[in-house]
Chains A and B, each alone.
Chain A
């Protein structure tokens, strides 16, 4: 569906929606969902399956079951998800895997993701310094290596550290744990960006710049993404450069095979 109503839906994705027998909607914006309902007479929202206190893993499995029940009934099913259906989304990948395992044809159409909007709205080119992306809780739950010479993009920071899978927000003490972890590689005064893409075409992207140290105390929603620009310069790898230089010399003399 892309991120912004009217702007991002591809002609092919729209055609899939219109040609489906049944459409399931996993969208982050209720008004965008109303727009989708104009495109098909049988749009079924996946929103009612969320519930505070219920494991989201269970919710996502229910979504897969709902879609597969219609596939098994012989229907042409289209799952419509906000952004890119395969980016930071479990059930679209899972339902395709399950459908194929049962012998049905299934595939994913790419969409304009929040990540794509972020690059455009913040003027960031991930190719310039490199760019690491993590779901914020993964950074806490597992040993990961951060590279502060690259961009670091953290998703779902508002929920960081939620081990229950049943909350839609944690809070300042949980974000303090994240801050402590990030402080190993980034100075407290490092300017970071809080970003949210526009979902309605009358909105502007929301961009806030704060010091890293303030991260635990700013209002955040699940749609907000945290961007840490590089904190240190790229360091030349002298050993590899020397090796490449030696190869270049060999190539000039015609001795490289």
Chain B
């Protein structure tokens, strides 16, 4: 059985596979001896079997906030950073 992450990478970088139909992809994956989970996920477009196979938990995505009322925290944080950087420079 071929490694699932390697196969995902191979699909992602191959123009003929990245936008292949589910049937076509399923056929290619069976020939490549992909795991049943990857073949099932590719056929259905549902990642759930893959998450089970790989033990992947859902990740959080947000990486920015709007922070009214927290602006003081930001200023305080910057002042602390500046003073600690000055202290390091004078060491």
A contacts, CB < 8 Å to B: 4-7, 26-31, 33-35, 38, 47, 50, 55-57, 60-61, 81-82, 88-91, 98, 101-103, 135, 137-138, 141-142, 156, 159, 163, 165, 168, 200-204, 221-223
A156 touching B62, Cβ below 8 Å: yes
Answer whether A60 and B63 are a contact pair too, CB < 8 Å, given A5-B8, A202-B42: yes
A33 touching B59, Cβ below 8 Å: yes
A201 to B13, CA, bound (A): 9
Count, chain B residues at interface, CB 8 A: 41
Which of chain B's residues has its CB closest to A137's CB? Answer: B66
Answer whether A138 and B8 are a contact pair too, CB < 8 Å, given A28-B59, A57-B73, A222-B61: no
Which of chain B's residues has its CB closest to A27's CB? Answer: B59
Q: Which of A30, A31, A57, A81 makes the CB contact (< 8 A) with B65?
A: A57
B59 touching A30, Cβ below 8 Å: yes
A101 to B70, CA, bound (A): 23
| Complex contacts, B25 vs chain A, CB 8 Å | 202
CB distance from B66 to the nearest CB of A (A): 4
1/0 contact trace for B41-72 toward A, CB 8 Å?
11001010011001011111111111111100
Flag whether B23 is at the interface (Cβ < 8 A). no
19 pairs of residues in contact across A and B, judged by CB atoms under 8 Å: A5-B8, A27-B59, A28-B59, A29-B56, A31-B51, A33-B59, A35-B5, A47-B60, A82-B61, A88-B64, A90-B63, A142-B68, A200-B47, A202-B38, A202-B41, A202-B45, A202-B50, A221-B61, A222-B62
B61 touching A34, Cβ below 8 Å: no
Which of chain A's residues has its CB closest to B53's CB? Answer: A31
A29 touching B85, Cβ below 8 Å: no
A223 to B13, CA, bound (A): 23
Answer whether A38 and B59 are a contact pair too, CB < 8 Å, given A102-B88, A165-B70, A200-B50: no
Q: Which of A6, A27, A28, A61 makes the CB contact (< 8 A) with B8?
A: A6
A168 to B12, CA, bound (A): 29
A5 touching B68, Cβ below 8 Å: no
A6 to B81, CA, bound (A): 38
Flag whether B9 is at the interface (Cβ < 8 A). yes
A101 touching B85, Cβ below 8 Å: yes
A165 to B64, CA, bound (A): 10
B5 touching A38, Cβ below 8 Å: yes
B50 touching A31, Cβ below 8 Å: yes
| Complex contacts, A135 vs chain B, CB 8 Å | 64, 66
B60 touching A50, Cβ below 8 Å: yes
